[in-house]
């Protein structure tokens, strides 16, 4: 188990365009995946991309777990190696996002994205798959894809007046659930 420090905005690695891994089933690729999974769980994120642990390769993982503040439909661990976008919906959805690489996950803002996305990629076994996602998973996948192109959610925030600190965001979430 290896937890990596989450690379922060301002570090060149976060803003660079990552490259495809040359061998999807190589030991080094599996190591990146394992480090991503360990770190994502340790810092309690629902997705994490390789640049966030210092690797400029096109790999990310998602795992939507239910927490006190996140009463959502859980989604199993998914591994995306060399992902490509097949299509996105015309319909959009707007919701709050945060990021482990932006103020250590301490800042939340509204981002509008396509509501549904279809992505192709390779899993941890090097097998090709297609994933059709909507809801929170579609949002997380698009947020992680952006990381592979050096883009952070703060560059896409729709209303800067609605930016929130982590504490205020969690307060809002718990109020909404009462």
Token couple for 84: 């490509």
**Nearer to Zn ion (CB atom), residue 7 or residue 99:** 99
Total chain residues near Zn ion (CB under 5 A): 1
CB of 100 to Zn ion, least distance (A): 6
Q: Is 144 one of the catalytic residues?
A: yes
99 binds Zn ion (CB under 5 A): yes
Candidate segments 13-21, 35-43, 76-84, 96-104, binder of Zn ion by CB under 5 A:
96-104
3-state secondary structure of 35: helix
- Closest CB to Zn ion among 77 and 152? 152
- What is the smallest separation between the CB atom of 142 and Zn ion, expressed in angstroms? 11
Cβ closer to Zn ion: 52 or 82?
A: 52
What's the order of all strands across the beta sheet hosting 47-49?
47-49, 59-64, 75-88, 116-122, 128-134
Q: Does 36 bind Zn ion (CB under 5 A)?
A: no
Query: Exactly one of 97, 144, 155, 168 is catalytic; which is it?
Result: 144
Q: Least distance (Å) from Zn ion to the CB of residue 59? A: 14
Instruction: Give the long-range contacts of residues 65-74, CB within 8 A, separation 24 or more.
Output: 68/174, 69/170, 69/173, 69/174, 70/46, 70/173, 71/177, 72/135, 72/136, 73/135, 73/136
| Burial (CB count within 10 angstroms: exposed 0-12, middle 13-18, buried 19+), residue 53 | buried
- Residue 117 within binding range of Zn ion, rule CB under 5 A: no
Residues in touch with Zn ion (CB under 5 A): 99
Q: Which residues are catalytic?
A: 144
């Amino acid at each position: 188990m290896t937890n990596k420090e989450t690379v922060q905005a301002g570090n060149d690695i976060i803003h660079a365009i990552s490259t495809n891994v040359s061998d999807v089933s190589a030991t080094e690729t599996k190591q990146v995946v394992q480090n991503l999974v360990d770190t994502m769980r340790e810092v309690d994120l629902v997705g994490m991309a390789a640049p966030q642990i210092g690797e400029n390769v096109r790999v990310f993982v998602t795992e939507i777990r239910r927490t006190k503040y996140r009463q959502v439909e859980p989604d199993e661990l998914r591994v995306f190696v060399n992902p490509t976008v097949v299509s996105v919906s015309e319909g959009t959805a707007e919701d709050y996002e945060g990021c482990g690489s932006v103020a250590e996950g301490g800042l939340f803002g509204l981002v509008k994205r396509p509501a549904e996305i279809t992505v192709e990629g390779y899993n941890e076994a090097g097998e090709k798959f297609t994933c059709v996602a909507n809801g929170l998973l579609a949002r997380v996948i698009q947020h992680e894809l952006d990381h592979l192109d050096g883009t952070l959610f703060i560059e896409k925030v729709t209303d800067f007046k609605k930016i929130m600190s982590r504490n205020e965001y969690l307060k809002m979430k718990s109020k909404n659930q009462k």
